Amino acid sequence: MERLQKIISKAGLASRREAEKMIVEGRVSVNGKAVTELGTTIDIKKDKVFVYNKKIAIENMVYIILHKPKRIVTTLKDEKGRMTVIDLIKDVPERVYPVGRLDYNTEGLLILTNDGELTNKLIHPSFKIYKTYIAKVKGIPAEEKLDILRVGVRLEDGITAPAKVNIIEIDKSTDSAKIEIVIHEGKNRQVRRMFEAIGCPVRSLKRIKFASLNLDGLARGKYRYLSENEIEALQRMK
């Protein structure tokens, strides 16, 4: 069950506020009966909604979490013929879209949905939705270098917002370190470029958390639908 104004907004007919105005003005009907109460909820699988006497198409909202492997493209189609994330969810009947991107050689948590409103919320910088990555880098960076990332490092497209950075593991035999980094921005290849800027190029990168979601129990290359509680938690984020 969802609020009527939200359904109208998701159908692309109006913003949430404009949809509320339509309802109050009596321009919306459900199953042939005019509805003017803003608190009205409907079942998108059963109820028929009309706006200005025209039936609207109500799409079933789908929310998926995918454990993306390396060497998979985060697009709907690839002109080079490479495998895409959509190839991993072929049995999902609805047309869904990736929320943001993970580059070709990055693995980890990816959300896919057809909820445009939620997608905008999750990727828009103003909402500051945090994402956690585990990076294995060449070299063992001193704390002074990591402090640069914690304050903000200058890249060619501007200074990054402060990141949370912690060394998890050091391997002196291979001159490498495993580092957890948490950011809320979504610049192209941002994490890789941040470590390159301090002289520690990334050897492997994995996103393990996006907002309140993590990869617990989800094997590489597999996906699952989000629970109602998980969806509501994402929608409540401010």
Strands 2-3 and 41-42 come out as: antiparallel
Q: How far apart are CA 86 and CA 79, in angstroms?
A: 14
CB 216 within 8 A of CB 230: no
Residues 6+ apart with CB under 8 A from 75: 84, 85, 86, 98
Give the pLDDT confidence score for residue 170 in this predicted structure. 98
User: Would you mind telling me the total number of residues written for the chain in this entry?
Assistant: 238
Give the pLDDT confidence score for residue 233 in this predicted structure. 92
CB 115 within 8 A of CB 61: yes
Give the pLDDT confidence score for residue 82 in this predicted structure. 95
Give the pLDDT confidence score for residue 58 in this predicted structure. 73
Phi, psi for residue 222 in degrees, rounded to 5: -105, 165
Give the pLDDT confidence score for residue 57 in this predicted structure. 78
Which two tokens mark 1?
């069950």
Which two tokens mark 48?
């028929």
Residues 6+ apart with CB under 8 A from 208: 108, 109, 132, 133, 134, 214, 215
Q: What is the DSSP letter of 24?
A: H
pLDDT in tens, the chain (238 residues): 888 988 888 777 777 888 999 999 999 999 999 999 998 999 877 899 999 999 887 777 899 999 999 999 999 999 999 999 999 999 999 989 999 999 999 999 999 999 888 898 899 888 999 999 999 999 999 999 999 999 999 999 999 999 999 999 999 999 999 999 999 998 999 999 999 999 999 999 999 999 999 999 999 999 999 998 999 899 888 7
Q: How far apart are CA 142 and CA 165, in angstroms?
A: 12
**Model confidence pLDDT, tens digit, residues 120-163:** 889 988 899 999 999 999 999 999 999 999 999 999 999 999 99
CB 33 within 8 A of CB 75: no
C-alpha closest to that of 203 among 106, 109, 108:
106
Which two tokens mark 158?
């501007």
Kindly list the catalytic residues: 103
Give the pLDDT confidence score for residue 14 in this predicted structure. 79
